[in-house]
Amino acid sequence: MKVTDHIKNANGKTLFSFEIVPPVKGKKIQDLYDNIAPLMEFNPPFIDVTTSREEYIYVDKEGLYDKKITRMRPGTVGICASIKHKFDVDTIPHVICGGFTKAETEYMLIDCHYLGIDNVMALRGDAMKDEKYFKPTDGGNAYASDLVSQIQNLNKGKYLHEDVQGEDKSDFCIGVAGYPEKHLEAPSFMSDLKRLKQKVDAGADYVVTQMFFDNKKYFEFVEAAKDMGINVPIIPGIKPIAVKRHLQLLPQIFSLDLPQDLVEAVESCKNNTEVRQVGIEWAIQQSKELKDAGVPLLHYYSMGKSNNIKAIAKAIF
């Protein structure tokens, strides 16, 4: 079912969903299942599965290092299919521009359609690990809005090189990313919001936000988006802090601000077990306030171990 229909059918009740990351090549999928299983009692209407782009690795060849390109966490569509089958839940593959040609994207979308996947998240992706700026792949999409257009074309039976008149067209519901504290590359909050409007005008059906730790940022973002004529659901993305290093990493990677109360609470922790507890409590407070404000769905970033997400969900749902 489409995300927008899940929201409609909930009749104003706030839903719970979460995102998972495919295992590193060679790791068992069972670990993923073991982390998903405890969260199923909270009835997620869907689970998102991220996609990682390719990266360079250096292979030791008798003392000389050979630079190779590889994808460390492949398998997004296969994982979506296996989770959908195992847990009888909708799954949402993330489709990214970086590292994929438009033709490869088309094949991935066709696979998704055959697998009965109704939703996709359309994202640009980041720069490669050892590159500073994002460079579009030759023959690939440059921005998420271009990708949304490609998916919408497919929904109309327009493939890259041919128009198909058959009755078996895809009908993907499309999610895109939004940034309550603006995307790190955007010159201003308003210019980033205009880019978000462009994605919605191209056919995006809903928005999932980047993580934020101060709900005020989300509420202001939603208001500004409405003022700009963005009328699709804006789903808040919540990440509980889990280790002390997040104090440096999260602002650095995502260009976001951490509230001083949270910084001080984490700094006063003696170890990461205590930090994890602070992260859970902060996310519970955020979630309570967002739920009381009537958000349609709370979406959690679960980076591997799900016990902190379970503790939050238990307090909220």
Would you tell me which residues interact with ligand FAD (CB under 6 A)?
50-53, 94, 96, 121, 123-126, 143-145, 177, 183, 185-186, 192, 195, 199, 208, 210, 237
Please answer whether residues 131 and 181 qualify as being in contact, where contact means their C-beta atoms are separated by less than 8 angstroms: no
Closest CA relative to residue 3, chosen from 120, 111, 84: 120
Nearer to ligand FAD, 111 or 126 (CB): 126
Sign of CA dihedral 5, 10, 11, 16: negative
Residues 6+ apart with CB under 8 A from 4: 173, 205, 206, 232, 233
Tokens describing residue 251: 């602002």
Nearer to ligand FAD, 143 or 274 (CB): 143
User: Helix (H, G, I), strand (E, B), or coil: what is residue 52?
Assistant: coil
Tell me the closest approach of the beta carbon of residue 109 to ligand FAD, in angstroms: 15
Nearer to ligand FAD, 35 or 52 (CB): 52
Tell me the closest approach of the beta carbon of residue 178 to ligand FAD, in angstroms: 7
Nearer to ligand FAD, 32 or 121 (CB): 121
Question: What whole-number distance in Å separates Cα of residue 310 and Cα of residue 293?
Answer: 22
Tell me the closest approach of the beta carbon of residue 80 to ligand FAD, in angstroms: 12
Tell me the closest approach of the beta carbon of residue 309 to ligand FAD, in angstroms: 15
Tell me the closest approach of the beta carbon of residue 120 to ligand FAD, in angstroms: 11
Residue written as tokens 């939603």?
222
Nearer to ligand FAD, 17 or 306 (CB): 17
Question: What whole-number distance in Å separates Cα of residue 285 and Cα of residue 240?
Answer: 11
Question: What whole-number distance in Å separates Cα of residue 185 and Cα of residue 212?
Answer: 17
Tell me the closest approach of the beta carbon of residue 71 to ligand FAD, in angstroms: 11
Sign of CA dihedral 29, 17, 256, 133: positive
Tokens describing residue 88: 């009888």
DSSP 154: H
Nearer to ligand FAD, 136 or 157 (CB): 136
